Amino acid sequence: MTSASTLPRVRVTRRTGPHVAHPDRAALCTRRFCTSRAGGVLAVEHDLGPDEISDELAVLLATELDDAGVLRGQPEFEAVFTGVVQSVTDDDGESDAAWLRFYRNSLDRLEHGSAAFAPIHQHAASLVLGHQIVDLGSCFGFFPLRMAAAGFDVTATDLSGPTMELLDRTSPPLRRPLRTVVCDAASVPLPDGVADTVTVLHLLEHLDSDASAAVLREAMRLARRRVVAAVPFEDVPRACYGHVQRFDVDVLKTIADSWRAAGVEAGVHEFHGGWLVLDR
């Protein structure tokens, strides 16, 4: 028996029986996936179970499919990611049930330290000042949900309306209340100094240098006390994740120097990537 989720030009199915050899010589089988491409459609079969679906899926897809050259850019990566999440539900294709499971699994791994991103969230939480937080480029909103559970007043923002709508639907059953705003991170429809701390976690690498500078300026406008930005250190920006800019310590120090010249306290340090902390 196979459950399936079909997205434009991508078809994802879940295999529940043993692996069967494929007659298609062009098929590629990895530890958890089998893939083939015909008629412009990428077919992906996987054997992941409901308890395995979490944000760690991104790393699995990157290492098993993107590194093997299967995926053609970020759109296919995101389509396969979504298809895998939705294909594991046993609730007659109920999308929200699948996503709620995804959220619960992801938060459990992040908050118990087993997820690759867990140290980044923990470190970011340790740098937050005050009670009110605005998070820019929240994506699924795991960090805002973590801070909401800890009693903070949190606003999550993202350019993707569907992602913020999903977060709106998911936060109540998770009992982690927060607000969401759909907007460009460089133009947030909130007043000056609206939050004690503004967090910008693994967003800047998705932007070119001019756009990332604009986001930091907007973050400083919104922050009464502190801006916390985190970036990965990569030899080459990971295209399937949508990364377009490479960061290292020297790049961050150059950014920090420009803020110091403007009279802002700026610090740079390394911890599972790089961190820029701007204080008023």
Same domain, 95 and 222: no
Contact 280, 225 (CB under 8 A): yes
Domain boundary among 105, 139, 171: 105
Residue range 57-63: mean pLDDT, rounded: 97
Nearest-angstrom CA–CA distance, 41 and 76: 10
Structure pTM?
A: 0.92
Nearest-angstrom CA–CA distance, 268 and 134: 21
Q: 6 pLDDT exceeds 50?
A: no
pLDDT at position 143, please?
Answer: 98
Nearest-angstrom CA–CA distance, 178 and 143: 11
Confidence of residue 255 (pLDDT cuts 50, 70, 90): very high
Domain interval for residue 59? 3-105
Task: Name residues whose C-beta falls within 8 Å of residue 25's C-beta, 6 or more positions apart in sequence.
Answer: none
CATH number, position 275: 3.40.50.150
Same domain, 163 and 271: yes
Residue range 243-268: mean pLDDT, rounded: 98
Nearest-angstrom CA–CA distance, 66 and 64: 6
Q: 5 pLDDT exceeds 90?
A: no
CB count in 10 Å sphere of residue 252: 23
Paired strand residues for 200 = 229
- Domain assignment present for 111: no
DSSP conformation class of 64: I
